[in-house]
Amino acid sequence: MNYSLSIQRELPHGFFGEVAYIGNLGRHLIRQPDINAPSFADILANSKLPTPLSTNAIRPYKGYSNIRMRLSDSNSNYNALQLYVTKRRGNLTLTGSYTWSHVLTDSSGNTDNPEDPYNRKFNYGPASFDRRHIFVTTYTYRLPFFQKGNGWAHNTLGGWELSGITRMQTGAYLTPTGTGNGALGNRRADYVGGVPVNVHGTDRLKEWFNKAAFQPAPDDRRGTAGLGSILGPGRYLWDLSVRKRISVGEKVRLQFQADFFNAFNRLNLNDPNTTFGSVTSPNQSYGTISGAAPGRNIQLGAKLTF
Protein backbone atom coordinates (compact mmCIF):
# COMPACT_ATOMS: atom_id res chain seq x y z
CA MET A 1 0.00 0.00 0.00
CA ASN A 2 1.58 3.23 -1.19
CA TYR A 3 0.63 6.81 -0.45
CA SER A 4 2.33 10.13 -1.12
CA LEU A 5 1.86 13.85 -1.25
CA SER A 6 4.22 16.04 -3.29
CA ILE A 7 4.56 19.66 -4.34
CA GLN A 8 6.44 20.47 -7.55
CA ARG A 9 7.59 23.89 -8.64
CA GLU A 10 9.40 25.34 -11.63
CA LEU A 11 12.21 27.56 -10.36
CA PRO A 12 14.28 30.33 -11.98
CA HIS A 13 17.32 29.66 -14.20
CA GLY A 14 16.05 26.31 -15.48
CA PHE A 15 15.75 24.61 -12.09
CA PHE A 16 12.87 22.37 -11.00
CA GLY A 17 12.14 21.40 -7.41
CA GLU A 18 9.97 18.89 -5.59
CA VAL A 19 9.09 18.23 -1.94
CA ALA A 20 7.35 14.97 -1.14
CA TYR A 21 6.14 12.79 1.69
CA ILE A 22 6.33 9.11 0.70
CA GLY A 23 4.94 6.22 2.70
CA ASN A 24 4.14 2.59 2.20
CA LEU A 25 2.93 -0.38 4.19
CA GLY A 26 3.90 -3.95 3.40
CA ARG A 27 1.56 -6.72 4.51
CA HIS A 28 1.80 -10.49 4.06
CA LEU A 29 5.45 -10.24 3.01
CA ILE A 30 7.32 -13.50 2.47
CA ARG A 31 9.79 -14.80 5.03
CA GLN A 32 11.43 -18.21 5.38
CA PRO A 33 11.75 -19.14 9.07
CA ASP A 34 13.20 -22.44 10.19
CA ILE A 35 10.05 -24.22 11.41
CA ASN A 36 12.20 -27.08 12.67
CA ALA A 37 14.20 -24.91 15.06
CA PRO A 38 14.04 -26.04 18.71
CA SER A 39 12.18 -23.67 20.98
CA PHE A 40 14.15 -21.57 23.44
CA ALA A 41 12.65 -23.57 26.34
CA ASP A 42 13.83 -26.85 24.79
CA ILE A 43 17.32 -25.48 24.15
CA LEU A 44 17.53 -24.22 27.74
CA ALA A 45 16.31 -27.53 29.21
CA ASN A 46 18.73 -29.48 27.03
CA SER A 47 21.66 -27.31 28.15
CA LYS A 48 21.00 -28.30 31.77
CA LEU A 49 21.21 -32.05 31.12
CA PRO A 50 24.34 -33.84 32.41
CA THR A 51 25.07 -34.81 28.80
CA PRO A 52 23.22 -32.43 26.45
CA LEU A 53 21.68 -33.97 23.34
CA SER A 54 22.54 -32.83 19.84
CA THR A 55 20.42 -30.03 18.38
CA ASN A 56 18.82 -32.40 15.85
CA ALA A 57 17.57 -34.61 18.71
CA ILE A 58 15.38 -31.83 20.15
CA ARG A 59 13.93 -30.50 16.91
CA PRO A 60 10.13 -30.69 16.43
CA TYR A 61 10.47 -32.90 13.33
CA LYS A 62 12.94 -35.65 14.13
CA GLY A 63 15.20 -36.89 11.36
CA TYR A 64 15.42 -33.49 9.66
CA SER A 65 17.68 -30.50 10.21
CA ASN A 66 16.62 -27.00 9.07
CA ILE A 67 13.26 -26.72 7.33
CA ARG A 68 12.90 -23.27 5.75
CA MET A 69 9.20 -22.70 5.08
CA ARG A 70 7.81 -19.81 3.06
CA LEU A 71 5.25 -17.89 5.11
CA SER A 72 3.42 -14.73 4.03
CA ASP A 73 2.97 -13.09 7.42
CA SER A 74 5.63 -10.36 7.71
CA ASN A 75 4.96 -6.63 7.89
CA SER A 76 6.87 -3.44 7.12
CA ASN A 77 6.34 0.31 7.10
CA TYR A 78 8.29 3.10 5.42
CA ASN A 79 7.98 6.87 5.89
CA ALA A 80 10.15 9.48 4.21
CA LEU A 81 10.62 13.14 3.47
CA GLN A 82 12.13 13.45 -0.01
CA LEU A 83 13.59 16.62 -1.53
CA TYR A 84 14.57 16.78 -5.19
CA VAL A 85 16.03 19.45 -7.47
CA THR A 86 17.18 19.23 -11.07
CA LYS A 87 18.56 21.44 -13.85
CA ARG A 88 18.37 20.00 -17.35
CA ARG A 89 19.39 22.91 -19.58
CA GLY A 90 22.63 24.74 -20.25
CA ASN A 91 26.27 23.79 -19.87
CA LEU A 92 25.62 22.75 -16.26
CA THR A 93 23.07 20.00 -15.68
CA LEU A 94 22.51 18.41 -12.30
CA THR A 95 20.20 16.52 -10.01
CA GLY A 96 20.15 16.56 -6.22
CA SER A 97 18.09 14.47 -3.83
CA TYR A 98 17.86 14.16 -0.07
CA THR A 99 15.87 11.50 1.77
CA TRP A 100 15.10 11.44 5.48
CA SER A 101 13.43 8.10 6.04
CA HIS A 102 12.79 5.21 8.40
CA VAL A 103 11.82 1.65 7.54
CA LEU A 104 10.69 -0.83 10.21
CA THR A 105 9.97 -4.51 9.66
CA ASP A 106 10.01 -7.93 11.30
CA SER A 107 11.81 -9.44 8.30
CA SER A 108 14.24 -7.54 6.05
CA GLY A 109 14.06 -10.25 3.37
CA ASN A 110 12.81 -13.75 2.75
CA THR A 111 16.27 -15.19 3.43
CA ASP A 112 16.48 -13.73 6.96
CA ASN A 113 17.39 -16.18 9.70
CA PRO A 114 16.02 -14.52 12.87
CA GLU A 115 17.00 -15.51 16.38
CA ASP A 116 13.42 -16.43 17.28
CA PRO A 117 11.54 -17.73 14.21
CA TYR A 118 8.33 -18.13 16.23
CA ASN A 119 8.09 -14.53 17.52
CA ARG A 120 7.87 -11.85 14.84
CA LYS A 121 7.46 -9.12 17.48
CA PHE A 122 10.90 -9.92 18.92
CA ASN A 123 12.40 -9.46 15.44
CA TYR A 124 10.70 -6.10 14.78
CA GLY A 125 12.98 -3.09 14.30
CA PRO A 126 14.99 -1.14 11.69
CA ALA A 127 15.44 -3.06 8.45
CA SER A 128 18.93 -4.16 7.50
CA PHE A 129 18.79 -1.71 4.56
CA ASP A 130 17.48 1.22 6.64
CA ARG A 131 19.59 4.36 6.13
CA ARG A 132 18.16 7.37 7.94
CA HIS A 133 19.76 10.15 5.86
CA ILE A 134 20.85 9.90 2.20
CA PHE A 135 22.03 12.73 -0.04
CA VAL A 136 22.95 12.12 -3.67
CA THR A 137 23.82 14.60 -6.37
CA THR A 138 24.83 14.06 -10.00
CA TYR A 139 26.28 16.77 -12.20
CA THR A 140 27.78 17.40 -15.62
CA TYR A 141 29.55 20.61 -16.63
CA ARG A 142 30.56 21.28 -20.23
CA LEU A 143 33.18 23.98 -20.44
CA PRO A 144 31.66 26.73 -22.60
CA PHE A 145 34.95 27.78 -24.22
CA PHE A 146 35.90 26.87 -27.81
CA GLN A 147 33.03 24.42 -28.22
CA LYS A 148 32.89 24.81 -32.00
CA GLY A 149 35.54 24.59 -34.67
CA ASN A 150 38.33 22.22 -35.71
CA GLY A 151 41.44 24.29 -35.05
CA TRP A 152 44.10 23.85 -32.40
CA ALA A 153 42.22 26.07 -29.92
CA HIS A 154 39.14 23.85 -30.10
CA ASN A 155 41.14 20.62 -29.90
CA THR A 156 43.24 21.89 -27.00
CA LEU A 157 40.94 24.08 -24.93
CA GLY A 158 37.46 23.04 -26.08
CA GLY A 159 35.46 19.88 -25.62
CA TRP A 160 36.25 19.39 -21.91
CA GLU A 161 33.53 17.93 -19.74
CA LEU A 162 33.41 17.16 -16.01
CA SER A 163 30.78 14.96 -14.40
CA GLY A 164 30.37 13.18 -11.12
CA ILE A 165 28.26 11.55 -8.44
CA THR A 166 28.50 12.60 -4.80
CA ARG A 167 26.85 10.42 -2.16
CA MET A 168 26.58 10.95 1.59
CA GLN A 169 24.58 8.63 3.85
CA THR A 170 24.36 7.51 7.45
CA GLY A 171 25.17 3.95 8.45
CA ALA A 172 23.28 0.75 9.09
CA TYR A 173 21.58 -0.13 12.38
CA LEU A 174 23.41 -3.02 14.05
CA THR A 175 22.43 -5.38 16.86
CA PRO A 176 24.82 -6.39 19.69
CA THR A 177 25.07 -10.10 20.48
CA GLY A 178 26.73 -12.31 23.10
CA THR A 179 27.20 -16.00 23.83
CA GLY A 180 26.54 -16.19 27.60
CA ASN A 181 28.03 -19.49 28.80
CA GLY A 182 28.03 -20.78 25.23
CA ALA A 183 25.36 -23.47 25.72
CA LEU A 184 22.63 -21.39 24.08
CA GLY A 185 24.76 -20.03 21.25
CA ASN A 186 25.19 -16.48 20.04
CA ARG A 187 22.08 -14.36 20.71
CA ARG A 188 21.00 -10.80 21.29
CA ALA A 189 22.79 -9.08 24.16
CA ASP A 190 21.33 -7.23 27.15
CA TYR A 191 21.17 -3.44 27.28
CA VAL A 192 22.47 -2.51 30.73
CA GLY A 193 22.22 1.28 30.60
CA GLY A 194 24.13 4.26 29.34
CA VAL A 195 24.27 5.94 25.95
CA PRO A 196 25.11 3.42 23.19
CA VAL A 197 27.12 5.97 21.19
CA ASN A 198 30.89 6.26 21.56
CA VAL A 199 32.13 7.83 24.79
CA HIS A 200 34.09 11.05 24.40
CA GLY A 201 37.86 10.79 24.15
CA THR A 202 37.92 7.16 23.02
CA ASP A 203 39.54 5.95 19.79
CA ARG A 204 36.55 5.17 17.58
CA LEU A 205 38.43 2.42 15.72
CA LYS A 206 38.87 0.59 19.01
CA GLU A 207 35.48 1.51 20.47
CA TRP A 208 32.99 2.59 17.82
CA PHE A 209 30.14 2.43 20.33
CA ASN A 210 29.91 2.40 24.13
CA LYS A 211 30.80 -1.24 24.79
CA ALA A 212 29.82 -0.95 28.47
CA ALA A 213 26.18 -0.41 27.46
CA PHE A 214 25.79 -4.08 26.51
CA GLN A 215 26.64 -7.48 27.96
CA PRO A 216 25.62 -11.11 27.29
CA ALA A 217 22.11 -11.99 28.43
CA PRO A 218 21.56 -14.51 31.24
CA ASP A 219 21.12 -18.11 30.16
CA ASP A 220 17.42 -18.28 31.12
CA ARG A 221 16.05 -15.68 28.68
CA ARG A 222 16.67 -13.71 25.52
CA GLY A 223 18.50 -10.38 25.50
CA THR A 224 16.85 -7.00 26.06
CA ALA A 225 18.85 -4.89 23.58
CA GLY A 226 16.65 -3.49 20.86
CA LEU A 227 17.13 -4.54 17.28
CA GLY A 228 19.42 -2.01 15.59
CA SER A 229 20.70 -0.42 18.83
CA ILE A 230 24.06 0.59 17.28
CA LEU A 231 24.48 3.02 14.41
CA GLY A 232 27.28 1.93 12.08
CA PRO A 233 29.62 4.17 10.03
CA GLY A 234 28.22 6.12 7.12
CA ARG A 235 29.51 6.60 3.57
CA TYR A 236 30.88 9.73 1.88
CA LEU A 237 31.96 9.28 -1.73
CA TRP A 238 32.96 11.48 -4.65
CA ASP A 239 33.14 9.72 -8.04
CA LEU A 240 34.39 12.07 -10.77
CA SER A 241 34.93 11.77 -14.51
CA VAL A 242 36.84 14.08 -16.87
CA ARG A 243 36.33 13.75 -20.63
CA LYS A 244 37.89 15.47 -23.64
CA ARG A 245 36.70 15.26 -27.24
CA ILE A 246 39.22 15.81 -30.03
CA SER A 247 38.49 16.19 -33.75
CA VAL A 248 41.13 14.14 -35.59
CA GLY A 249 39.56 14.62 -39.03
CA GLU A 250 36.31 15.50 -40.69
CA LYS A 251 34.70 12.19 -39.70
CA VAL A 252 37.03 10.96 -36.99
CA ARG A 253 36.60 11.78 -33.33
CA LEU A 254 38.71 10.77 -30.36
CA GLN A 255 37.40 10.86 -26.79
CA PHE A 256 39.68 10.55 -23.78
CA GLN A 257 38.21 9.81 -20.36
CA ALA A 258 39.60 9.61 -16.82
CA ASP A 259 37.42 8.22 -14.01
CA PHE A 260 38.17 8.73 -10.31
CA PHE A 261 36.25 6.52 -7.88
CA ASN A 262 36.42 7.82 -4.30
CA ALA A 263 38.34 10.68 -5.87
CA PHE A 264 39.49 12.28 -2.61
CA ASN A 265 40.49 8.93 -1.08
CA ARG A 266 38.20 9.38 1.89
CA LEU A 267 38.31 6.70 4.59
CA ASN A 268 34.92 4.95 4.70
CA LEU A 269 34.90 2.52 7.60
CA ASN A 270 33.25 -0.90 7.60
CA ASP A 271 30.85 -1.93 10.35
CA PRO A 272 32.26 -2.67 13.82
CA ASN A 273 32.29 -6.09 15.45
CA THR A 274 29.15 -6.29 17.59
CA THR A 275 29.71 -9.75 19.14
CA PHE A 276 30.59 -9.51 22.85
CA GLY A 277 31.54 -13.14 23.34
CA SER A 278 31.03 -14.39 26.90
CA VAL A 279 31.75 -12.74 30.25
CA THR A 280 34.48 -15.29 31.00
CA SER A 281 35.88 -15.22 27.47
CA PRO A 282 35.19 -11.81 25.92
CA ASN A 283 35.79 -11.20 22.23
CA GLN A 284 38.88 -8.97 21.98
CA SER A 285 37.66 -7.39 18.74
CA TYR A 286 34.25 -6.48 20.21
CA GLY A 287 33.41 -2.89 19.32
CA THR A 288 36.40 -2.44 17.01
CA ILE A 289 36.57 -1.68 13.30
CA SER A 290 39.15 -3.63 11.34
CA GLY A 291 38.41 -2.73 7.72
CA ALA A 292 37.30 -0.04 5.31
CA ALA A 293 35.73 0.35 1.90
CA PRO A 294 38.06 0.62 -1.15
CA GLY A 295 40.22 3.72 -1.45
CA ARG A 296 40.79 5.81 -4.56
CA ASN A 297 40.59 3.96 -7.86
CA ILE A 298 41.52 5.59 -11.19
CA GLN A 299 40.86 4.24 -14.66
CA LEU A 300 41.74 5.74 -18.05
CA GLY A 301 40.08 5.07 -21.37
CA ALA A 302 39.92 6.26 -24.97
CA LYS A 303 37.33 5.82 -27.70
CA LEU A 304 37.87 6.38 -31.42
CA THR A 305 34.79 7.06 -33.54
CA PHE A 306 35.06 6.97 -37.33
pLDDT (tens digit, 9 = 90+) per residue, 217-227? 988 888 999 99
CB 180, CB 200: distance < 8 Å: no
- Summarize pLDDT for 7-39 with one digit per residue, the tens: 999 999 899 999 999 999 999 999 999 999 998
pLDDT, position 154: 63
What is the model's pTM? 0.86
Measured in whole angstroms, how far is the alpha carbon of residue 264 from the centre of its chain?
21
pLDDT, position 176: 95
List C-alpha distances in Å: 12 to 15, 23, 146, 172.
6, 30, 27, 37
How far is the C-alpha of 205 from the C-alpha of 291, rounded, in Å?
10
